[in-house]
A and B are shown apart, each in its own frame.
Chain A
Amino acid sequence: MREAPIRSQSPSGRHEPARPVVARSPGHGSAERAELGTLQRTAGNRATAALLRGGINGAAAPILEPLVTAPLGPTLQRAPIVQRSWIGDRIGWVRSGTRDGNWETEDPPGAYRVLNGLSMDDMVRVLRVLTPAERAKLAANLDEQGGRSDRSRIHLAITNASTSAADPVFRELSENLHWAIRSGNFTSPPNGAFNILATATVAQQSRLAAALNRDALDALIDRRDEASAVPGALGALTVIERRRGTLGSTSREQHLIDLVEGGDWARFFGEFNGMQEFDQLRFLRGHPGVVPPIRDNIRRADGIGDPVRILYLLERATTPASRGLYVDAMVNRYSWQPKYRVAHPEDFSNIIRFSDLADVELDISTIGDNQMGEEEADRQFREAVPGPGGFLWPEVRNRSTLPVLWQVKQMVREQQRTLLGDEVLRQGIFVVQYLMNVAIPIAHASAIKSLGVLRGASLSGRWMQGSQVIKGGAARTIISDAEAFTQARNARNSGVEAYRTMPKAQREQVATVTGGVNVQTGEVVSGYNTAGRCAEDMVVERLGGDASKVRFSEAVRPRTGEQVPVCERCQGKYTSDQFPEGVIFEGR
């Protein structure tokens, strides 16, 4: 089994061996004591005790009882050694820390502080000795009191210590999963986190979900877009999400929610500002409902916290972890209105706007045309800091550090040069805007780790008046409902075709297939049921965005080809006009 790369430490934070405690006896030579002490320091108490008892391969020393050496050699025979065991000390510290509610102090050693310094094996050994009530208390306080410890690792150890020792398979599986999450391996077979989850049985998935704490569950949910690349992983992710949903809020989080709901922004931003970034992100990710009101009231953070940094946290919390927050990588649509905020009627605007969540304005003349060395540009990329819109910005903004935005600038300049006399003007210059879409040549969900990828981005632009394209070849018009239903049916039929090629075990899990289109983006997908969720839910999830903009096909049972009526739950979530005419709505 793998172990998280954390060195064992003493509660004081120093890496040190267990301290030997040697009882002195009259007439005992100092040389002999030194010999024994050296042996204990180098080989450890337990090895020394084992040696004294009859060899390293002999039975292990008892954990809790003081060790009393058995007679062996003429020298050591006379040395009665009474000592505490290394593991016994830690059991005692964890037990007393748990009893006293002492969690992370250095002296006396807090329970989590001690556990945090142990290997997974030792942690499980210590925890197995505790009573179920003691383990339950440790688990119950971990999220609230263990902020400076590796909570996900301790949570896993508590879970595994509470399961049968005769279940090493599950323990290995759960530790592999924990390691995969910790090491950022989500999709590489066979030990990527989603690969492990997808190949686990449903019962194992539930147990694995229970072995993960909020942070680990959030990490998986945060990588949702990568899960879709692993067959079966989206179904497993449903189990993960349901588990996360059952954990609820910590008392501190609930307090913050109360402040948001009560509109007490001064206190909210004051307390939020005092939290560790890890906990700030956990709060935002675990409670997405608070993000819009915080964003709407971000100006109230002035003088209390840094609004830009809070915006950055909001973006991070709502952006899949597989995507960076570097502005050039994040933004995929820019708009420009020729007369927006111009000082003189004959001028053209230099302002471009972007981001759906926080409308960001940028003067394109602030992006320099100069270039810099690749090494320096990459340094700017790596060291980018939160800026407008909560995105990460380089200190120097130019063609090298912002290759996409520099292209945007060129496109706007080109439009400014050709605009006068253009047919666009005839459409009414105050109501038109030029939209620029960015296409980044990178595989789905891969992280952008260098500027090289961004330099390969291409842009397409078009003039829009409302939702109508006035000019520009690459535009995607908003599709009619009739067309949407046709496309949704095509997607559904593709899903049914895919079903027919699935292996038996997968086919049996698919009871319903449907298709859907987002009429605002034109994106088309198919979806199928997963545990506890309907096929319609997968379609909405895959499309993202506003669920009310989705048009569904009739759902079918791929085994029989029969239409599956829209269930009562989906009727509550989606309106009837999101389904084609003639679809069957179930009702008792």
Chain B
Amino acid sequence: MPVVRKELARLDEVDWSSLRTAHGTAEHVPAALRALREAEDTASVHDAYWKLDNYIVLQGTLYESAYFAAPYILDILLSAQWPSGRVGAYDLLIEIACGVADPGLPTTVAGPCGPMDLREACRTVVASGRSAYAADLRLADGALRRRALDLLTSIDDDPKGLDALLAGIDPGDDEEFARLLERARRELEF
């Protein structure tokens, strides 16, 4: 499956003002995405991140804007120059992959081939970046590789393939990552 990513130059393709977030419309989302893409330090990433988290997804609840923002977030993950920006993108994708629709709101979104279940639509977008997440498991940056592991286990629609992938990962001296890797494999086995 091709990676479902969109460059930020194409932000205008989405009518953000018509999309719902946890607290109104998604008009502010393009600016937040740009800020995340351009953030060079942890503080800027934090500011940009929390203008997306708590809005397109709020404490595990997905809103329809999450589906439309996900391809841009994936693009930020794949193209950001600064690790902190990539960490923020990973955290957003994890929240989106694990989120569920608000049962009090419509739970479908307009996908390319008609209405789709919001959760499934979001997971499809996130899962399309699987090979990139797999590559990040071998990075030296512990924060990034831990998140790559979190995201891969969150979209475990191919447990056997994931187990085989994880079996080939050397945690090195990163004890925390080694513990998480072991737990992930144990849970896959289960």
A residues lining the B interface (CB < 8 Å)? 202-203, 205-206, 209, 238-239, 242-243, 245-246, 503-504, 508-512, 529-535, 559-560, 564-565, 567-569, 584, 586, 588
Q: Please tell me which one of the listed residues B28, B54, B98 contacts residue A567 in the complex, with CB atoms under 8 A apart.
A: B54
B44 within 8 A of A: no
Smallest CB-CB A-B distances: 3 pairs: A529-B59, A511-B60, A532-B102
CB-CB under 8 A from A203, the residues of chain B are 117
Could you tell me the distance in whole angstroms from the C-beta of A185 to the nearest C-beta in chain B? Answer: 24
Q: Using A202-B100, A508-B154, A531-B101 as known contacts, say yes or no to A567 and B61 having CB atoms under 8 A apart.
A: no
Q: Specify the chain B residue showing the minimal Cβ separation from A508.
A: B98
Q: Please tell me which one of the listed residues A205, A242, A509, A584 contacts residue B60 in the complex, with CB atoms under 8 A apart.
A: A509
B76 within 8 A of A: no
Q: Specify the chain B residue showing the minimal Cβ separation from A537.
A: B59
B residues lining the A interface (CB < 8 Å)? 22-23, 28, 50-51, 54-55, 57-61, 91, 94-95, 98-105, 107, 117, 119, 150, 153-154, 187
CB-CB under 8 A from A559, the residues of chain B are 94, 150
Q: Is the CB of A534 within 8 A of B58?
A: yes
Q: Is the CB of B103 within 8 A of A531?
A: yes
CB-CB under 8 A from A534, the residues of chain B are 58-59
Q: Is the CB of A564 within 8 A of B59?
A: yes
CB-CB under 8 A from B95, the residues of chain A are 511
Could you tell me the distance in whole angstroms from the C-beta of B14 to the nearest C-beta in chain A? Answer: 18
Q: Using A504-B187, A569-B22, A586-B50 as known contacts, say yes or no to A238 and B103 having CB atoms under 8 A apart.
A: yes
Complex Cα spacing A509 to B95, Å: 9
Could you tell me the distance in whole angstroms from the C-beta of B34 to the nearest C-beta in chain A? Answer: 14
Complex Cα spacing A531 to B102, Å: 6
CB-CB under 8 A from B101, the residues of chain A are 202, 531
Could you tell me the distance in whole angstroms from the C-beta of A491 to the nearest C-beta in chain B? Answer: 17
Complex Cα spacing A147 to B70, Å: 49
Complex Cα spacing A308 to B28, Å: 56
Q: Using A504-B187, A567-B23, A588-B51 as known contacts, say yes or no to A243 and B60 having CB atoms under 8 A apart.
A: no
Q: Using A565-B54, A568-B23 as known contacts, say yes or no to A205 and B28 having CB atoms under 8 A apart.
A: no
- Interface contact tally, CB-CB below 8 A: 77
Q: Using A202-B101, A202-B119, A205-B103 as known contacts, say yes or no to A532 and B153 having CB atoms under 8 A apart.
A: no
Q: Using A531-B60, A534-B58, A588-B51 as known contacts, say yes or no to A504 and B100 having CB atoms under 8 A apart.
A: no
CB-CB under 8 A from A202, the residues of chain B are 100-101, 103, 119
Could you tell me the distance in whole angstroms from the C-beta of A288 to the nearest C-beta in chain B? Answer: 18
Complex Cα spacing A181 to B95, Å: 34
Q: Is the CB of B107 within 8 A of A532?
A: no
CB-CB under 8 A from A567, the residues of chain B are 22-23, 54, 58-59
* Residue contacts A-B, CB under 8 angstroms, 10 given: A209-B103, A245-B104, A246-B104, A504-B187, A512-B59, A532-B61, A533-B61, A565-B50, A567-B22, A569-B23
Q: Using A535-B59, A569-B22, A588-B51 as known contacts, say yes or no to A511 and B104 having CB atoms under 8 A apart.
A: no
Q: Is the CB of A529 within 8 A of B23?
A: no
Instruction: Other than A209-B103, A531-B101, give 12 A-B pairs with Cβ distance below 8 A.
Output: A242-B104, A503-B187, A504-B187, A508-B154, A509-B60, A511-B57, A531-B61, A534-B59, A559-B150, A568-B23, A568-B54, A586-B50
Q: Using A246-B104, A532-B103, A588-B28 as known contacts, say yes or no to A504 and B153 having CB atoms under 8 A apart.
A: yes
Q: Specify the chain B residue showing the minimal Cβ separation from A584.
A: B50
Q: Please tell me which one of the listed residues A239, A511, A565 contacts residue B98 in the complex, with CB atoms under 8 A apart.
A: A511
Q: Specify the chain A residue showing the minimal Cβ separation from B51.
A: A588
Could you tell me the distance in whole angstroms from the C-beta of B157 to the nearest C-beta in chain A? Answer: 14
CB-CB under 8 A from B60, the residues of chain A are 509-512, 529-531
Q: Is the CB of B104 within 8 A of A532?
A: yes
Could you tell me the distance in whole angstroms from the C-beta of B82 to the nearest C-beta in chain A? Answer: 18
Q: Specify the chain B residue showing the minimal Cβ separation from A238.
A: B103
CB-CB under 8 A from A531, the residues of chain B are 60-61, 100-103
CB-CB under 8 A from A243, the residues of chain B are 103
Residue among A503, A511, A530, A584 with most chain B CB within 10 A: A511
Q: Specify the chain B residue showing the minimal Cβ separation from A555.
A: B59
CB-CB under 8 A from A564, the residues of chain B are 54, 59
Q: Is the CB of A509 within 8 A of B107?
A: no
CB-CB under 8 A from A245, the residues of chain B are 104
Q: Is the CB of A511 within 8 A of B117?
A: no
CB-CB under 8 A from B104, the residues of chain A are 242, 245-246, 532
CB-CB under 8 A from A560, the residues of chain B are 91
Q: Please tell me which one of the listed residues B50, B61, B117 contacts residue A529 in the complex, with CB atoms under 8 A apart.
A: B61
Complex Cα spacing A568 to B55, Å: 9
Q: Specify the chain B residue showing the minimal Cβ separation from A560.
A: B91
Could you tell me the distance in whole angstroms from the C-beta of B108 to the nearest C-beta in chain A? Answer: 11
Complex Cα spacing A535 to B150, Å: 22
Complex Cα spacing A569 to B24, Å: 10
Q: Please tell me which one of the listed residues B23, B28, B94, B100 contacts residue A509 in the complex, with CB atoms under 8 A apart.
A: B100
Residue among A239, A242, A509, A568 with most chain B CB within 10 A: A568
Could you tell me the distance in whole angstroms from the C-beta of B151 to the nearest C-beta in chain A? Answer: 11
Residue among A243, A503, A534 with most chain B CB within 10 A: A534
Q: Specify the chain A residue showing the minimal Cβ separation from B94.
A: A559
Q: Specify the chain B residue showing the minimal Cβ separation from A565.
A: B50
